[in-house]
Structure 1
Amino acid sequence: MTMKLLALSGSTRRDSWNTRLLHAAAAAAPAGAEVARAPDLAALPHFSEDIEAEAFARGPVATFVAAVHAADVLLVATPEYNQSIPGTLKNALDWLSRGADADRLAGKPVAVAGATVGPWGTRLAQAHLRHVLGVIGLRVVGPGLFVAGAASRWEAETGRWDDALQVRLQAWLHEVAAAAGAV
């Protein structure tokens, strides 16, 4: 049986380090796992109870929530904005926490990663993200993947991360798949 992983980038930037990290994760997925890209978070409206019923019935929120529910495991890569997660990612998580099917998320495995040009590798953003994920009932599995100095680790000529990071990424994915499969 194929394990379905959904790659969710917390960045909407065109050349996002985090989106690149998830693309590399898709290419490094272990045997028996396939990685799909989550719908664009920028398409989600700001959460509001005033539009909640309609948003869950159709449109980008319904599409996003269905993709999350269909996945066996979520892979979330977050940038760090002002020592926390971006508002776009928080908005997506707020949508997930609502609706008639929100309880279906209880215990769903999620792995956390992040890449930044700075020296800390999104450590504070990942801590905040883990907190929010736990509050909405998701189960964080595997270790976090912290990528500091992303600009110096990306090889523009090859369109790949450096070899050491590629090895770390592959090992991280195997740990995540093993932890998620152990449920």
Structure 2
Amino acid sequence: MGKTRILALVGSLRAASINRTLAEAVASTAPDDVQVTVFEGLGELPFYNEDTDTPDSVPESALALRAAVAESDGLLVLTPEYNGTLPAVLKNAIDWASRPYGAGSIKGKPTAVVSASISPNAAQWAHADAVKSLGVAGGRVVESAHLHFGSIGERFAQTHPREDAEALTQLSATLRELVESARGEFVAV
């Protein structure tokens, strides 16, 4: 069996995003038979428009996202909370990956959501919206793999998540649940 490939979609485009550092920490916890890759092109995706989603006009950035999702064995979505919901860039990526309707690259793909925010709420509204959107888009949501981080401005102000033993343990457990689901070793409820 080859490596299990997990694609991470980070909902914050900011270079110093804590959600990005959480994705990096997940990658650092991956066992040798798992590859975690952060998709780097979310900021280049135009807003989904069915008029440009035709065989002759799909934007290259959307084709790259669809190919990356299709080639992955599972998706790990990391979301901050913007005005009480998930960032538009993340929702847009889900929209592109869900098309063509009923046959998008996200269909049947095991997915897990990690939410993180500066509030003690831990971006749970964004988390719930991401879970809903991923499920409606056709992803197979692995609820046992979900994770929430609150008050991240304080918790990770001076420390990268990969230097936080508790965060690494939690991220490793999330990754393990997602990988088991991708390998068919676990049945999501």
TM-score computed with the length of structure 1 as normaliser:
0.90
The alpha-carbon distance between structure 1 residues 161 and 146, as it changes in their structure 2 partners (threshold 3 A), is farther
Quick check: 2:8–2:37 contact (8 Å CA) kept in 1?
Answer: yes
Aligned equivalent of 1:143: 145
Counterpart of 1:168 (choices 167, 170, 173) is 170
Q: For residues 84-111 of structure 1, what are the alpha-carbon distances to aligned partners after superposition, in whole Å with 9 as ceiling and x for unaligned?
A: 1111111111111223783453211011
Whether the 8 Å contact between 1:28 and 1:170 is mirrored in structure 2 is yes
Q: 1:129 — aligned with what?
A: 130
1:178: Cα distance to partner?
1.7
**In structure 2, what is the Cα distance between the partners aligned to 1:39 and 1:179?**
24
Query: What is the RMSD of the two structures over their aligned residues, measured on CA atoms?
Result: 2.0
Match of 1:180 in 2: 182
Contact (CA 8 Å) 2:102, 2:138: kept in 1 or not?
no
Please identify, of 154-163 and 40-49, the stretch whose mean Cα deviation from structure 2 is larger.
154-163
> Taking structure 1 as reference, are residues 152 and 12 closer, same or farther at Cα in structure 2, changes over 3 Å only?
same
1:37, CA displacement in angstroms?
1.5
Give the drift of 1:115: 1.2
Displacement after TM superposition at 1:152 (Å): 2.2
Structure 2 residue 45 is the aligned partner of structure 1 residue 40? no
User: Offset of 1:156 from its aligned partner?
Assistant: 3.2
Stretches of structure 2 lacking an aligned partner (at least 5 in a row): none
CA distance in 2, matches of 1:158, 1:137: 33
* 1:111–1:157 Cα change, 3 Å: closer
Q: What letter is aligned with 2:51?
A: D
1:66: how far off? Answer: 0.5
Match of 1:84, SS state, is coil
- Residues 159 and 170 of structure 1, relative CA distance in 2, 3 Å threshold: closer
User: Counterpart amino acid of 1:38?
Assistant: F
Percent identity for Structure 1 against Structure 2? 36
Write the letter of the residue equivalent to 2:153.
Answer: A
Whether 2:46 is the aligned partner of 1:7: answer no
Give unmatched runs, 5+ long, in structure 1.
none
Looking at structure 2, the residues matched to 157 and 182 of structure 1 have their Cα atoms a distance apart, in angstroms, of 35
